[in-house]
Amino acid sequence: MDKILSKKGKKILGAAAMLVIILIALAPLSVYAKAGPLRITVNQVSTTSGDAFTYRLKPLETGDPMPLGSTVEGYTFTITGTGSAQIELSGYSRQGLYLYELFQVIGEEKPGYIYDKRVYVIEVHVDMELDVEVILRNEKGEKEEKIEFINSYKATASNPNFMPDPPVKKTVSGNPHYNTIFEFRLVAQDVSSPMPKGSNNGTKTIKIVGSGESGFGTWSYDKAGKYYYKVLEVDTGVNGYTYDKTVYTIVDSVTEEGGKLVVSRVVTNNLNKPVSAFDFINKFSEGKDGPKTGDYIDLTLNRILFAAGSVSAISATTYLIAGKKREGRKKHE
């Protein structure tokens, strides 16, 4: 009987020992199964819906656990538009601190794009129980609540130096006695449209004295689209003049080319014919001539001053001649 019990005891001990060996062998797997895979979310905000941007996760220590599909360069993935992706890490079988860097892979930068160049540091803390804690930090070592990259696109504003700038040409026919000040206006169809310096509420006014030439200046666009403007002369009502009533139209078509905004301009007159300048011709009629304060540069004052000067000169000359005659008489006496 004792022999039988002894044999049973040995079998039980043997089975127990085998069970212990199996449990020890499977212990890491059991602990990992407890912790489960580690998932880290990467968020992307993009102002363009169809563009994909590339990111890479790299371990700071070779051999640290990495997602499936990793290479010697690290784990590379893409996110399209505004969205997110998940990084899944597994295989932490020992206590320690595991460090990773996550950054955007930027090759040749495309014109107009602004890339998020932040580098995040991911700290994976594994304790003796193989429980995991993840801490996210930015480049300055400050804690972050989430990983987020912001990429945007904005085409480079148009270059005003390349914008056509047709001159305003003023011609006066007839023979006016003074040079009148003429006014011309550039008016935007939409007051929010870009305008040259010196504009106010979608309007800019320039002046030309008599016959002459001037311009409104150029400006820059920061958004694609079509923009409409009018150019006309202001009838200030100076007597003797018939004003040119031509109204010119400017249509600026702004498009993106290689990340830059380019302006294509068409200028037409009131007959819808393309022109290269804003030509205005005012006719002066002698019978209608008459002064009007503030509307012209009057030469009347100059004439009065000239007349007064002439009288003074004549008087002085007469006085000198008379003086010399008196001196001559005294000598003869």
Is the Cβ–Cβ distance between 178 and 297 less than 8 Å?
yes
Same domain for 136 and 186, yes or no, is no
Please compute the mean of the pLDDT values over residues 53-61 and round it to a whole number. Answer: 97
Q: Is residue 323 part of a domain?
A: no
Same domain for 124 and 164, yes or no, is no
pLDDT at 5 over 50: no
- Of the listed ranges 33-37, 70-74, 222-226, the least confidently predicted one is 33-37
Same domain for 81 and 176, yes or no, is no
Identify the three-state secondary structure at position 106: coil
Say which residue the tokens 């407890």 belong to. 34
Extract the tokens encoding 174: 């007839």
Extract the tokens encoding 97: 């601190």
Q: Is residue 136 part of a domain?
A: yes
**Choice between 27 and 165, residue whose per-residue pLDDT is larger:** 165
Q: Is residue 23 part of a domain?
A: no
Same domain for 148 and 242, yes or no, is no
Please compute the mean of the pLDDT values over residues 20-37 and round it to a whole number. Answer: 43
**Choice between 3 and 62, residue whose per-residue pLDDT is larger:** 62
pLDDT at 12 over 90: no
Helices (H) and strands (E) in the chain, counts: 2, 20
- Residue ranges of E strands in the chain: 38-46, 52-59, 75-80, 83-89, 96-105, 113-114, 119-126, 132-137, 143-144, 147-153, 168-173, 179-188, 203-209, 212-214, 225-234, 241-242, 248-257, 260-268, 278-284, 296-297
Last residue of a domain, one of 153, 177, 202: 153
pLDDT at 110 over 70: yes
Same domain for 89 and 149, yes or no, is yes
pLDDT at 21 over 60: no
Question: Which pLDDT score, from 0 to 100, does residue 22 have?
Answer: 41
Q: Phi and psi for 286 in degrees, rounded to 5? A: -60, -40
Question: Which pLDDT score, from 0 to 100, does residue 25 have?
Answer: 40
Q: The domain containing residue 178 runs over which residues?
A: 160-297
pLDDT at 61 over 80: yes
Extract the tokens encoding 245: 């009533």
Question: In angstroms, what CA-CA distances link 203 with 88, 171, 245, 250, 289?
Answer: 60, 23, 18, 14, 31
pLDDT at 15 over 90: no
Question: Which pLDDT score, from 0 to 100, does residue 11 have?
Answer: 58
pLDDT at 99 over 90: yes
* Percent of the chain surpassing pLDDT 90: 70
Identify the band that residue 18 occupies on the pLDDT scale cut at 50, 70 and 90.
low
Same domain for 145 and 226, yes or no, is no
Please compute the mean of the pLDDT values over residues 49-60 and round it to a whole number. Answer: 95
pLDDT at 64 over 60: yes
Say how many C-beta atoms besides its own lie within 10 A of residue 211's C-beta. 15
Question: Which pLDDT score, from 0 to 100, does residue 311 have?
Answer: 45
Question: Which pLDDT score, from 0 to 100, does residue 264 have?
Answer: 97
The count of domains in the chain is 2
Identify the band that residue 48 occupies on the pLDDT scale cut at 50, 70 and 90.
confident
Please compute the mean of the pLDDT values over residues 93-106 and round it to a whole number. Answer: 97
Is the Cβ–Cβ distance between 297 and 182 less than 8 Å?
no
Same domain for 177 and 288, yes or no, is yes
pLDDT digits (tens, 9 = 90+) for 160-219: 999 999 999 999 999 898 899 999 999 999 999 999 999 999 999 999 999 999 999 999
Question: Which pLDDT score, from 0 to 100, does residue 7 have?
Answer: 53
Question: Which pLDDT score, from 0 to 100, does residue 277 have?
Answer: 98
CATH code of the domain in which 50 resides: 2.60.40.3050
Give the strand pairing for 225-234 and 179-188.
Answer: antiparallel
Question: Which pLDDT score, from 0 to 100, does residue 177 have?
Answer: 86
Same domain for 277 and 148, yes or no, is no
Identify the band that residue 115 occupies on the pLDDT scale cut at 50, 70 and 90.
very high
63 alpha carbon, distance to own chain's centre:
45
Identify the band that residue 286 occupies on the pLDDT scale cut at 50, 70 and 90.
confident
Q: Is residue 233 part of a domain?
A: yes
How far, in Å, CA of 243 to CA of 73, rounded? 75
Please compute the mean of the pLDDT values over residues 12-23 and round it to a whole number. Answer: 47
